[in-house]
Structures are given as structure tokens and as C-alpha cells.
């Protein structure tokens, strides 16, 4: 199924928040262009990173996709943002970040305070067709803006934007929470594969403090 960006009015709402505005202008790193595990494991990581904040400009009732039904998927209804989805994302993203970071970096003891990572959900789109017995086919898509904050100064030293998606080409049973986790996992792995982010986990991180001005 085709995945598309959310309506422009929501992007304008996100731009109303200063941090969101900055992140929305960052280039998007395509998941297909990177290999997170290979890059991150290529060097030791003397410091850690922790996801401290997850934000978005979505409000209840915002359209975030479509849910189809029927034998030919011709019946269609809107999928809307809700507090349940917000809580799920605020719970899932930090856990996915911790898991992917643990998989991508060596198990050596980190030195110094960890980098603080802030995430802003700029875009989410769900396009699925429901089948019998709880099965579905379709796609979950997310686009996440990232800000990295130095623990000592509180300065934003890095910004990026990554995408992630999860697709069932044929009807399969899986929860929406699982699909979101998989999509977020791709977005996180793309961040962890960025050589600039990897460098910040190394001893030369302070030299990159001005590489991404605000």
C-alpha cells in the first residue's frame, strides 16, 4: 500500500513549537541507506546515550492514516490520533531506543555522563487492510526528529531526522504495538548508523560540538 505524508496543516502545527521547527528542516536519513549494526560496532563506545524526552504536535482526532476492510479492501475509515496512541508511543520509543543501542554498541562500561537524546515524532501514517481473525496487511510509517544534548552544558550538539516503516505484504496477525515498535526500530537504527552520532559516543565528541549549529 502507498504511504504518504500527513496533511500540511499538521506540519504547520509542529512548526509552532520551536524545537519541532528545527527538526522538521533536517534532512531525512533513509533506512535503506545505512547499516546501523556494522557502523556502530566498528568502534568502541566510551559513553552512553539515553532517550530523555518524546514529543509530538499531534492532537486527538488528527488523521494519521486509513483502515480498510472487506474482501477487496474497498471499505475505508480514518485512523485518528488518540491519547492511547500517544501513551503507547511514549512507552515504546524509549524501550526501543535502549534495546537498539544495546545491540549496536559494545558492552564496555560507558565513561562519563551519557548523551541526552530528545525525539520528536514529526510524522506517522498507518495504511492497513483488516482481514479475518485479527490479521491485517499494510504499512506503519514514522518519521522522527532527533536532538542530542550535551550532558555538561545542556547545549544541542547534533540534529537529525530518520524514517522507519514496517510492512505486511500479505495478511498476518500482529498487534499495532508490534508494528509501531518495528517501525521505530528502523528509525533508531538509522540514527545509530549515522557516523556523526557514532563519533559523539567516542573520545572526539567535544570537537563536534559546533558541527550542527542551532
Q: Residue 163: inside a domain, yes or no? A: yes
Q: Residue 3: inside a domain, yes or no? A: no
Q: Residue 165: inside a domain, yes or no? A: yes
Number of domains in the chain: 1
Angle of CA points 121, 123, 127, to nearest 5°: 130
Give the model confidence (pLDDT) of 143-177 as tens digits. Answer: 999 999 988 888 999 999 999 999 988 888 878 88
Residue 62 domain boundaries: 8-208
DSSP 205: G
HEC string of 45-75?
CCCCEEEEEEEECCCCCCEEEEEEECCCCCE
pLDDT mean over 43-64: 87
What pLDDT does 201 receive?
80
Among 25-39, 125-139, 165-179, where is mean pLDDT lowest? Answer: 25-39
Q: Residue 188: inside a domain, yes or no? A: yes
Q: What is the CATH number of the domain that holds 85?
A: 3.40.50
Averaging pLDDT over each range in 10-14, 17-21, 134-138, which range is the top one? Answer: 134-138
Q: Is the pLDDT of residue 122 over 80?
A: yes
**What pairing do the DSSP bridges indicate for beta strands 63-69 and 49-56?**
unpaired
Q: Residue 2: inside a domain, yes or no? A: no
Q: Residue 112: inside a domain, yes or no? A: yes
Angstrom CA distances, 4 to 139, 142, 165, stand at 11, 11, 12
> What whole-number distance in Å separates Cα of residue 189 and Cα of residue 213?
24
Give the model confidence (pLDDT) of 79-121 as tens digits. Answer: 999 999 999 999 999 999 999 998 887 655 566 788 999 999 9
Phi-psi region of 32 (alpha: psi -120 to 50; beta: other; left: phi over 0): alpha
> What whole-number distance in Å separates Cα of residue 136 and Cα of residue 17?
35
Could you identify the residue written with the cell 528545527?
22
Mean pLDDT of the chain, nearest integer: 77
66 neighbors 140 (Cβ within 8 angstroms): no
Among 28-32, 41-45, 165-169, 208-212, where is mean pLDDT lowest? Answer: 208-212
What pLDDT does 66 receive?
94
- Please give the residue that has the higher pLDDT: either 11 or 140: 140
Q: Residue 213: inside a domain, yes or no? A: no
Phi-psi region of 10 (alpha: psi -120 to 50; beta: other; left: phi over 0): alpha
Q: Residue 214: inside a domain, yes or no? A: no
Amino acid at each position: 500500500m502507498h504511504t504518504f505524508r500527513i496533511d500540511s496543516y499538521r506540519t504547520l502545527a509542529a512548526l509552532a513549537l520551536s524545537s519541532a521547527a528545527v527538526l522538521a528542516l533536517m534532512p531525512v536519513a533513509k533506512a535503506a541507506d545505512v547499516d546501523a549494526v556494522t557502523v556502530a560496532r566498528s568502534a568502541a563506545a566510551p559513553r552512553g546515550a539515553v532517550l530523555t524526552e518524546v514529543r509530538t504536535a499531534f492532537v486527538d482526532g488528527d488523521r494519521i492514516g486509513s483502515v480498510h476492510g472487506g474482501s477487496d479492501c474497498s471499505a475505508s475509515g480514518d485512523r485518528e490520533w488518540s491519547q492511547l496512541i500517544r501513551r503507547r508511543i511514549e512507552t515504546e520509543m524509549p524501550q526501543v531506543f535502549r534495546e537498539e543501542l544495546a545491540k549496536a554498541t559494545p558492552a564496555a562500561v560507558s565513561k562519563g555522563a551519557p548523551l541526552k537524546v530528545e525525539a520528536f515524532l514529526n510524522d506517522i501514517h498507518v495504511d492497513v487492510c483488516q482481514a479475518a481473525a485479527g490479521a491485517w496487511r499494510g504499512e506503519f510509517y514514522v518519521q522522527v526528529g532527533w536532538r542530542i544534548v550535551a550532558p555538561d552544558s545542556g547545549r544541542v550538539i547534533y540534529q537529525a531526522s530518520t524514517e522507519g516503516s514496517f510492512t505486511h505484504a500479505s495478511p498476518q496477525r500482529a498487534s499495532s504495538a508490534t508494528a509501531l515498535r518495528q517501525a521505530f526500530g528502523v528509525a533508531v537504527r538509522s540514527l545509530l548508523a549515522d557516523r556523526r552520532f557514532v563519533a559523539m559516543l567516542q573520545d572526539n565528541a567535544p570537537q563536534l560540538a559546533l558541527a550542527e549549529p542551532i
